[in-house]
Amino acid sequence: MLQAKVFVTRRLPIELEQLRSLVTVEVWPERQPPPYGILLEKVKEVDGLLYLLTDQVDRQLIESGKLKVISQMAVGYDNIDIAAATARQIPVGHTPGVLTDATADFAWALLMAAARRVVEADRFTRAGLWQTWEPDLLLGPNVTGATLGIVGFGRIGQAIARRAKGFEMQILYRTHLTSFTVLK
């Protein structure tokens, strides 16, 4: 019996050894996503497709191949034609929650960088303008004890709120159905 084949549309930051122990794996070697024409050709020769959010998996792609499984390393799935996959009885996977902490960390890093004027201070220093400490030089607002508004209180919004609690912030949040609510 021939071993199943899977095409992975990009190098991933994970080991694929477990997958390789089960199927033949081909990974697209480029940093940019494979052109659509390449995907059309690949799905004709593979059983599985592991793709990223930058790849369009539309009806034409699904109907051009012999795919038995499709999976995306991303939270959403709006770049795949679910109806076309369902019509061909192809299961579709995705990775909800995979980026929750990374996204919250990044949002928190941006918040801290803005409050503490990190980018501005870096440019100031690199330009040779810093001479000595000054009490009000590039002074930003305090984060501790401030009020933080979070629009959307799903996994990512809640992860941001957990970080904000460590800074004793008052947290206001809003879901799509409510006005702002104070988090206790």
Segments making up each domain of the chain, as ranges: 5-93, 100-183
- Supply the pLDDT for residue 16: 87
The CATH superfamily assigned to 100-183 is: NAD(P)-binding Rossmann-like Domain (3.40.50.720)
The Cα–Cα gap between 91 and 86 comes to 7
pLDDT < 50: residue spans in the chain = none
Structure tokens at 17: 């050894």
- Supply the pLDDT for residue 1: 57
Per-residue model confidence as pLDDT tens digits over 63-90: 998 999 999 998 888 999 999 999 999 9
Q: Do domains 5-93 and 100-183 have the same CATH topology?
A: yes
CATH topology of domain 5-93: Rossmann fold (3.40.50)
